[in-house]
Structure 1
Amino acid sequence: MKKPIKKWRIETVLNFSGIRQWSIKSLTLIGFSLVAIPLTFALLYGANQVNKLSQQGSSAIINVAELVKINRQLSIEMNKLQRFASQYVVLEEQGLYEQFIQQKDKLTQMITTEMVIYQDEPLNQLSQQLFTEIEQLNLHQPNSINVSKKSLELLQEEFKALSSVSQMINFRSNELISSHAQQMKISADSLRTTMLNSLLSIPLTIVIAGVFILLIIRPLRQLSAKIYRLEQGHFQQKITFSGSKEIKEIADALELMRARLHALELQKSSFIRHISHELKTPLAAIREGTELLYDNSVGPLNDDQQEITNILKVSVSRLQNLIEDLLDFNIVLDSTSLQDAEKSQLTSIIEQSINDRKLDIQSKQVTVDSDLTPLIVQTNAKQLSVILDNILSNAIKYSPQGGKITIQSYLESHEIILKIIDQGPGIPSSAQQQVFDAFYQGPPPNDSNIKSSGLGLTIVKELLMRLNGDIKLTSFPAPKHGLMVTLRFPYHVQGK
C-alpha cells in the first residue's frame, strides 16, 4: 500500500498550483534560480567566514610574534642590567655605574611603551610590578650616612626577585600565545563545521534540479510515446496533451498531422480495396475465358493462336498476383487489421505457408527441410502468414532447380528466431537496404516464371515493425551461395 501512496504524493507535488502548465522557459529559469540561490548563499557565507578566520589568524600571528620578541628582548635587557650592576659592585668603576643607569632607563622605557599595549590585565599588572621594582633598584645601601655599595649577595637577591617577576611575565605571555592558538583552533573547527553544513545545500540543489528536470522531461517522454504510436501506424487514437505551452503546441501540431495521416490512410485503404475488387471481377472472367481457349474447349487452335493464349494466361496470372500483393499491402496500410491478436501455433502457421506454396515448390522440385520448435505465440495469425508467405515465395523463386530450402525456428532470450535459408544467388550488400523499398525489384532469377511486384519485403518489414520485430539478410559468398533471412520478434506469449 505504501508505493501507491508515495506515487500519489509525487503526482500531487508535480501538479501543485498548476506547475505543469508553466512554459519550459519559465521552468528552466525558476529551476536555475532555485538551484543557484542556496549555492550562492553557501559560497558567500563560506567566503565571509574564511575572510574572518584569515583576519583573526593574521592578528593572532602578529600578537604572538610581538610577545615572543618582547619576552626575548626583556630577557636580554634584564641580563645586561644584572651584568652592569654586578660589575660595578665588584670593580667600582664610574663608567659601569653610568651604563647601569642607562640600561635601567632603557628597560623601564621598554616596559612602559611596549608591554602596556596588550589588553590583558594580568600581564599589565606584572609589567607594572616589574617596572616598580626596577625603579626601586639601587646599587647603594639604603639609610646609610656614608654612601656605600650593596653587597653582591644582596644585589643577587634583588635580581632573583626581578627574575621571578620576569618569569611570571614570560609564563603569562605563553598563556596568551596558547590562548591565541586555541582560539585559532576553535575558529578553524567552527569554519570547518560551517563549511560542512554548507555542503548540505548540495543535496537540496540536486533535489530541486531533479524535480525541475522531471517536470521538463516527463511531458517530453509522454510526447515521445505519442510520436512512437504514430510511427507504428496507430492513427485512430486522438492526441490530447495538457502541459506547458511549447509542448501543447507540438501536441496540437501532431494531432493535426495524425488526423491528416488517418484520413490519407483511410483513403488509400478504401482506394486499394475498391480498385482491387473492381479489377478482380473482370479479371476472373478474362482468366476463365483464357483457360477455355487454352484448353481448346471452344475448338482447336493453331500454334500461333495457342502461343497467344499462353501469353494471355501467364499475363492474367501475373496480374492476379499483383492484385493479391496489393491486398496484402493494404493490410499494412489499414492499421485496424493489426489489432486482433490471438494464440497461434507457430509450427502450424509455417506448415500452412509451405502448403500454400506447394505447387511452386513442386514446379521447381525444391526440397523444404524444417527444424521447428513448437511455440504458441500471441499474435495476429493473418499478418504472420503474410510475412512467411512473402519470404517463402522469394526463397522458392530464387532457388535453383532441385535446390533446398531450410526453415528453422527456436526460442532465444525471450525472442522467437525464425530462419529461412535458400541456395539462390543471394542479395548484394549494396542492395540489402533497397529491397525493403516499395516497388523495388532486383535482378530477376534465371528461368523464373514467378514475377514480382516489388512489395513483398516492404510488407514484411512493415508488419514486423508492428510486431516490434526485425529482419536481417545474410548472403553466403561463392561457392556456397544462398541467402539466410533471419526474423526476430518478441515472445510475449502465454503458455506452451
Structure 2
Amino acid sequence: MVQLGSLRQLTLGSFVLALIPLIALLWQSQSDLAKVGQMTTLETRFVVEIVGDVQQLDNAVVDVERSIRQYSVLKSERVAAISDNALEQFALAADNLCQGLGTGEVCSFLTTQIDQLADYRNIEDQLLLNAYLATIKDSVKQLRADVERVITERVALQQSDLNAMQAKQAWSTAMLVSVSLMLILLGSQLIVNPVNNLKKIIRILAHSKGELPPLTRHAPKELLDVEKDLHWLYDRLQQLEHIRTALLRHAAHELKTPLASIKEGCSLLSENVVGDLNDNQREVLSLLSGSTQRLNTLVEKLLDYNLLLQQAQPKLMLYKPQTLIDECIEDYALAIQNREVVVDVQVDEALLDEELFRRVLDNLVSNAVAHGAVGRPIFVKVYMSKSTGESIEEDMLILDVANHGKPISPESVTTLFEPFIRGSEPRNDNVIGTGLGLSIVADCARLMHGDVQVVEVDYADVCFRVSLSQK
C-alpha cells in the first residue's frame, strides 16, 4: 500500500474527502431549488395570464350582449359599429384563452357561435337572438370551468413534481451523508489503528509480557516515529534487564563465597573446635548462625525478590502480625540488645503477604536501630484504622515503627523513599548504607495495596507509618 503522509496531511485530506459528498449534496440542493423557483415562476405566470384572459372574456361577452341588444332596439349604425368592435374583442379574448388552454372542442364551438352571432343585423327573431347569446354565455361558462380544471391539474402536477423532487433529495441526502460518514470512518480508522497498535506496545512494555508487533507499514509519519521510538525503548529495556539480571546473578554468586566462610566458622565454633564456649557465647553463636542462615536464604531469593518487586502479584492471606514481629525482633537481638523494644499489636489476624510484610519490618527496624538514639526505646505498633481520604470508608492495617533521635527534615522527606538516596545523618553502626531500604519498604507496601509515609507522633521523634488495605 502507499505510505501515508503526515498526520496533518491525513487529517486535512480526510476532511476534504469527506466534504466532497456534502458539496455534491449542496450543489444538487441548489439545482433543485433553482428548478422549483423556475417552475413556480412559470406556473404563476400561466395562472395570472389565463385568469386575465378569463376576465377579459367575461367583460367582452357582457359588452357583446349589451351592444347587440341595443342594436336590436335602436337599429343604429353607430350601435352596430360598437357591436362589431365588441364581437371582435370577444373573438380575440376567446382566441387568447383557447391558445392558453389548448382545448379544441369548446373553442371550435365558440368560434362557430361567434360566426353565427356576427350576422346579428339580419336576425329579426328575438328568441333566436336570445338563444345565440345564451349559447355564447354557456360556452364562456364552460371555458371558465375548463380554466379551473386546467389550473387544478397543473397544481396537482406541480405538487407531484415537488414530491418526486423531495424524495430524490431525501435519497440523495441519505446516500451522500452515508458516503461522507464512511469516508470519515475510513479516515479515522487510519489514525485509530496505529494508535491502538501504540497502546498495545505500551501495555507490553508496562507488563513486560509478549513480543512487540511488527512495525506498521502504513500509518501517519508522526505515529510511525513514535512506534519506532517505542520499539527502540523496548530493545533498550531488554538490554538493561539482561544487564540487571546478570549483575544480580553475579552478586548472588559472589555473596555466597564469604557467606560460606561465615557458616563454616559458626560450625567450627559450635563444635568446640577452638575451645569450649560458655552459655552467653553459645547464645550469641546461635543468633549468629540463625542470621547467617537467613542471609543465605535472602541471597538465594535475590533474583526472585527483584522479580517480585517488578511485576509479581502478592499472595495476600490472613496472617498473625505478632508472629512476624517476634521473629524480626529475635533476628535483630544482637543489634538491639542495649535498647528496649516496645511492641503493641492490637490485631490478631490481618490480610497481608508474609514475605513482603517481613521485609517491611526488617528494613524499618534496621533503620530504627541504625539511626535511632542509642539507649532509647524503639516502638513497633500494629492496629486497625479507617481511611479518611476516600468517600467510602475502608479498613486499613497500620504499622508504626518509631524511634528517638534527630527528626527528619521536611526537605528530605520528598526523596526519602527513592532508591540509592541515603540520609545525611551518620549511622550508629559501621555499615555503609546503600539507600535501598526505605525504597524497598515503599515497593513492598505498594504491592500490598498500601503506602508508607513519615508522620509525627507524640511518643517518638521519628515515625514511619505503613498503611495496608484490607479489602
TM-score, normalised to structure 1, is 0.62
441, 465, 471: which one aligns with 1:485: 465
**Helix, strand or coil: the match of 1:368?**
strand
Cα deviation for residue 349 of structure 1 reads 6.6
Cα deviation for residue 61 of structure 1 reads 0.7
After superposition, residues 406-421 of structure 1 pair within 5 angstroms as 406-408=381-383, 417-421=396-400
Query: After alignment, is 278-287 or 248-257 more displaced?
Result: 278-287
Residue 191 of structure 1 is matched in structure 2 by 169
Cα deviation for residue 387 of structure 1 reads 2.9
After superposition, residues 165-180 of structure 1 pair within 5 angstroms as 165-180=143-158
CA 1:427–1:210: 2 relative to 1, 3 Å:
farther
Contact 1:473/1:485 (CA < 8 Å) preserved in 2? yes
After superposition, residues 261-272 of structure 1 pair within 5 angstroms as 261-270=240-249, 272=251
**Helix, strand or coil: the match of 2:323?**
helix
Query: After alignment, is 73-82 or 482-491 more displaced?
Result: 482-491
185, 190, 204: which one aligns with 1:226: 204
Residue 437 of structure 1 is matched in structure 2 by 418
Cα deviation digits, residues 16-56 of structure 1 (max 9, x gap): xxx8xx8675999899989976x556435534542443233
Query: Residue 138 of structure 2 aligns to which amino acid in structure 1?
Result: K
Question: What is the CA RMSD across the aligned residues, in angstroms?
Answer: 5.5
Contact 1:392/1:420 (CA < 8 Å) preserved in 2? no
Size of the alignment, in residue pairs? 419
After superposition, residues 32-47 of structure 1 pair within 5 angstroms as 39=18, 42-43=21-22, 46-47=25-26
Query: Residue 222 of structure 1 aligns to which amino acid in structure 2?
Result: K
Report whether the alignment pairs 1:457 with 2:438.
yes
Distance in 2, matches of 1:416 and 1:158, equals 109
Cα deviation digits, residues 384-424 of structure 1 (max 9, x gap): 532342245456766995675432469999x9954213566
Cα deviation for residue 137 of structure 1 reads 6.9
210, 213, 223: which one aligns with 1:241: 213
CA 1:263–1:188: 2 relative to 1, 3 Å:
closer
Distance in 2, matches of 1:95 and 1:488, equals 126
Contact 1:436/1:458 (CA < 8 Å) preserved in 2? yes
Distance in 2, matches of 1:210 and 1:197, equals 20
Distance in 1, matches of 2:114 and 2:216, equals 89
Residue 390 of structure 1 is matched in structure 2 by 363
Distance in 1, matches of 2:173 and 2:182, equals 15
CA 1:75–1:449: 2 relative to 1, 3 Å:
same
Contact 2:60/2:93 (CA < 8 Å) preserved in 1? no
Distance in 2, matches of 1:36 and 1:468, equals 53
Query: After alignment, is 169-178 or 478-487 more displaced?
Result: 478-487
40, 43, 52: which one aligns with 1:61: 40
Distance in 2, matches of 1:424 and 1:97, equals 140
Distance in 2, matches of 1:477 and 1:385, equals 23
Cα deviation digits, residues 41-94 of structure 1 (max 9, x gap): 643553454244323312321132123202321232123213322432454587
**Helix, strand or coil: the match of 1:420?**
strand
Residue 340 of structure 2 is matched in structure 1 by 364
Distance in 2, matches of 1:109 and 1:91, equals 22
CA 1:339–1:370: 2 relative to 1, 3 Å:
same
Where structure 2 has 5 or more consecutive residues not aligned to the other structure, the ranges are 218-223, 267-275, 277-291
CA 1:259–1:482: 2 relative to 1, 3 Å:
closer
State the identity %. 10
Contact 2:320/2:348 (CA < 8 Å) preserved in 1? no
Contact 1:438/1:455 (CA < 8 Å) preserved in 2? yes
CA 1:138–1:428: 2 relative to 1, 3 Å:
farther
Contact 1:126/1:168 (CA < 8 Å) preserved in 2? no
453, 458, 462: which one aligns with 1:473: 453
Cα deviation for residue 368 of structure 1 reads 2.1
Distance in 1, matches of 2:349 and 2:166, equals 75
**Helix, strand or coil: the match of 1:435?**
coil
Query: After alignment, is 60-69 or 39-48 more displaced?
Result: 39-48
After superposition, residues 281-360 of structure 1 pair within 5 angstroms as 334-335=306-307, 345-348=317-320, 351-358=323-330, 359=333, 360=336
Where structure 1 has 5 or more consecutive residues not aligned to the other structure, the ranges are 1-18, 231-236, 288-296, 298-319, 492-496
Contact 1:408/1:419 (CA < 8 Å) preserved in 2? yes
